[in-house]
Chain A
Amino acid sequence: GAAAAAAAMLSLDFLDDVRRMNKRQLYYQVLNFGMIVSSALMIWKGLMVVTGSESPIVVVLSGSMEPAFHRGDLLFLTNRIEDPIRVGEIVVFRIEGREIPIVHRVLKIHEKQNGDIKFLTKGDNNAVDDRGLYKQGQHWLEKKDVVGRARGFVPYIGIVTILMNDYPKFKYAVLFLLGLFVLVHRE
């Protein structure tokens, strides 16, 4: 009835607005959008420099560190060379040739006088250590395998990233809505 008519009127106004936005305004909005993206990238690069890690924020993907961390939790990492690797620390590492980073705890270290270190890891929720996960013939991890050490965390937030990965339709929906919002929002 009246509500449906009001809704129809509003959508017509909306279309008029879009038509009224001339080319110049459109370019302006696109530049605005570009600026936001660049700033975000700069902040990310800055974080990489400050923390010394190539991936200063990671999302926990598995349940191997429960009950401390669950799938979807966000971890903040640092990877400063001055910080020595010691048992009990939570490290994020990559196994040579594999892309997915693993978040586990250091169980054993053997460090030489000159600083060369080899260490073994284990997930809190796993019954055995990680030797079975390492590359064929690899018995230890080394500094070069480390992406960073977990220094802080926030629960749940990373779920969005996992959802976007597992459900591409969700990712497109989010991107579409974001794009729509930026283009239509006039300052």
Chain B
Amino acid sequence: RKNVEDFTGPRERSDLGFVTFDITADILNGKNGLQTFWNKSTLKLFFIFDWNVKQLFLYLSAEYSTKNNALNQVVLWDKIMLRGDNPRLSLKDMKSKYFFFDDGNGLKGNRNITLTLSWNVVPNAGILPLVTGSGHVSVPFPDTYETTKSY
């Protein structure tokens, strides 16, 4: 985790977090299976693809609290899974897809970053529910910044 200038946003120095994770997911064809199991940093996801489910939009989000902001949520990774796609996900050592910038310097020493997997069910027609998997993983950030070598 470093303190880096957020070059995509306002010109101030903000904390940038680096998280790696494993995801194992089994999307089954069954009835009413909406559960996630966490085993350390490996998560298992069970879900049904029925006739009215066009796709699932899966996303891994980090939620935490800082001095600046009472609630922060950052999507680290997402994936679109269409009905018919390979229902097994086995991702190891994934880096986050999006930069994990904080609004300020609230990542240093933050012991309580919660990673949750959620998904948006997109039907062929009808309601668009957002579901959060049960269970989550807590990730603590260290108290010091990582220094990069300069050449």
Contacts and interface: CB of A to CB of B under 8 A. Distances in A.
Interface of A: 67-68, 86-90, 105, 107-113, 118, 124, 129, 131, 139, 150-155
B74 A87 contact: yes
A139 B10 contact: yes
Contacts of B123: 153
A149 B128 CA distance: 10
The 5 A-B pairs of least Cβ separation, nearest first, read: A110-B103, A111-B71, A113-B70, A87-B73, A110-B69
Contact of B68 (A89, A110, A150): A110
B120 A155 contact: no
30 contacts: A67-B54, A67-B55, A67-B82, A68-B55, A68-B57, A68-B80, A68-B122, A86-B130, A88-B61, A88-B119, A88-B120, A89-B130, A107-B74, A108-B74, A108-B75, A109-B72, A110-B72, A118-B103, A129-B8, A129-B98, A131-B8, A139-B9, A150-B128, A151-B127, A152-B127, A153-B126, A153-B128, A154-B126, A155-B124, A155-B125
A107 B70 contact: no
B69 A112 contact: yes
A150 B103 CA distance: 26
Interface of B: 8-10, 54-55, 57, 59, 61, 68-75, 78, 80, 82, 98, 103, 118-120, 122-128, 130
B68 A90 contact: no
Nearest to A154: B125
Given A107-B98, A131-B8, A87 B59 contact: yes
Contact of A68 (B10, B54, B103): B54
B9 A153 contact: no
Given A108-B75, A112-B70, 11 more contacts: A67-B80, A68-B57, A86-B130, A88-B59, A88-B118, A105-B120, A109-B73, A111-B71, A129-B8, A151-B127, A152-B127
A109 B55 contact: no
A148 B12 CA distance: 31
A57 B108 CA distance: 43
B54 A86 contact: no
Contacts of A131: 8-9
A86 B131 CA distance: 12
Contacts of B126: 152-154
B125 to A, nearest CB: 5
Contacts of B69: 110-112
A151 B59 CA distance: 18
Contacts of A67: 54-55, 80, 82
A179 B68 CA distance: 59
A40 B82 CA distance: 37
Contacts of B124: 155
Contacts of A87: 59, 61, 73-75
